[in-house]
A and B are shown apart, each in its own frame.
Chain A
Amino acid sequence: KAGVTQTPRYLIKTRGQQVTLSCSPISGHRSVSWYQQTPGQGLQFLFEYFSETQRNKGNFPGRFSGRQFSNSRSEMNVSTLELGDSALYLCASSLLIDNYNEQFFGPGTRLTVL
């Protein structure tokens, strides 16, 4: 079974631009979560989508948004990029079986904002 895939793997943008990152979950997984990882703040939860609905949200400004499609694929968008948005963006999918929650992470998208 294919793992979680993320595209693109690397991205360079300039301040003020916007960016869209894509995540394809493992087949059959309906939950998709996004995380931001930086050396200073570590791994931080952005948001989770389940059945095309945002179910959980972390403490990030409204510039960070996302959506999920009917095939469970998800996109994350960051508008008006700032230097501090440079990070590794990770996507994870899971089955959410009761009493067992294993999240499968993709390789991430490395975003650099100049």
Chain B
Amino acid sequence: LAKTTQPISMDSYEGQEVNITCSHNNIATNDYITWYQQFPSQGPRFIIQGYKTKVTNEVASLFIPADRKSSTLSLPRVSLSDTAVYYCLVGPSSNTGKLIFGQGTTLQVKP
């Protein structure tokens, strides 16, 4: 499974757009990129998944360049409740319930 590298921590202010970049140089052809969010003492929550170009849902956008060696999670207009750990995962999408989590990025949103 491809190794991911993301910043350990980031700070932001309410109302700002936050972009968290994840590096995955060894991504395989059949790998998808998935982001999860985790609040303290809770299980992670799926945010978004993509394979290439751009994916958008009601919570976030995921930008993936053509070489797929990195990806950027974009959170529009963050609020204090977006303070959490964000994990970038890379791996095959189907037929596996095995997720490999890295260290994640701790996002602190300030008022």
Contacts and interface: CB of A to CB of B under 8 A. Distances in A.
A50 B97 contact: yes
Nearest to B98: A56
Given A45-B100, A108-B41, A103 B46 contact: yes
A108 B44 CA distance: 10
Contacts, number: 80
Contacts of A88: 41
B81 interface: no
A94 B96 CA distance: 9
Given A99-B32, A101-B32, A102-B49, A43 B42 contact: no
A13 to B, nearest CB: 19
Question: Looking at chain B, what size class is its interface with the partner chain?
Answer: 20 to 34
Given A42-B104, A45-B99, A99 B43 contact: no
B93 interface: yes
Contacts of B45: 105
Interface in B80-98: 87, 93-98
B94 A108 contact: no
A66 interface: no
Given A42-B101, A108-B41, A96 B96 contact: yes
Interface in B22-43: 32, 34, 41-43
A31 B46 CA distance: 16
B98 A100 contact: no
A107 to B, nearest CB: 6
A28 B93 CA distance: 19
Interface string A80-108: 00000000101110101111111111111
24 contacts: A42-B102, A42-B103, A43-B87, A43-B101, A45-B98, A48-B97, A49-B97, A55-B97, A56-B98, A91-B43, A92-B43, A92-B97, A96-B97, A98-B94, A99-B51, A99-B94, A100-B93, A101-B93, A101-B97, A102-B46, A103-B46, A104-B46, A107-B43, A110-B41
